[in-house]
Amino acid sequence: MAAPRSSRPAHRIDVQVARLFRSAVRAPWLRRIARHVLAAEGVGPTQLGVVVTDDATVRELNRRYLGVDAPTDVLSFGLGQKDDGPFALPPGEATPLGEVIIAYPTAVRQAEEQGHSVEAEVAHLLVHGVLHLLDYDHVEGEEERIMRGREKEILAALDLEAASFDNVWR
């Protein structure tokens, strides 16, 4: 007999990988990581977008939406921030969380510089981006300690070279 299905919607994770990087990054793998972060943080059913793209696109988004004309490795754009009030959703719909956008060429460079795999770097950037959407930050010392600790715990549970990130978090 099959287990009864929950009436609560599951996480909906939409993944877009730029054509140039599709042979290196697989959508199901990204979904698994994102679901793991959401579960580790106790997040109820939610909608999340994950985009893997090039450096120029990420730089343009950074300039256009954050006013910073510089490249970066990952951006997070939240939807329905706590101060905005809840979204009006149909019954049973998952709550929109936001989007995480990863610059794949930057991830490759950072992995080489830090001495770990590109897979581990992309996983780290995705975990980092999702945690930002969940109101983690690293602007101040204590916030940074908490966020980096969660990143490390989540990556360790994924078994993606978490120990090798020690040099990233100096």
CATH of the domain at 70: 3.40.390.30
* Structure confidence by residue, pLDDT tens digits, 78-100: 986 555 555 667 776 788 899 99
3-state secondary structure (DSSP) of residue 53: strand
* Structure confidence by residue, pLDDT tens digits, 42-84: 998 899 999 999 999 999 999 999 999 999 999 999 986 555 5
The answer to whether residue 74 is domain-embedded is yes
The answer to whether residue 169 is domain-embedded is no
The answer to whether residue 7 is domain-embedded is no
The answer to whether residue 149 is domain-embedded is yes
The answer to whether residue 36 is domain-embedded is yes
* Structure confidence by residue, pLDDT tens digits, 108-154: 999 999 998 999 999 999 999 999 999 999 888 899 999 999 999 99
Number of domains forming the structure of the chain: 1
Which pLDDT belongs to residue 93?
75
Containing structural domain, residue 18 = 12-81+94-164
The answer to whether residue 86 is domain-embedded is no
The answer to whether residue 170 is domain-embedded is no
| Spatial strand order in the sheet of 46-53 | 12-17, 46-53, 95-103, 74-78
Angle at which helix 55-66 crosses helix 104-114, to 10 degrees, equals: 110
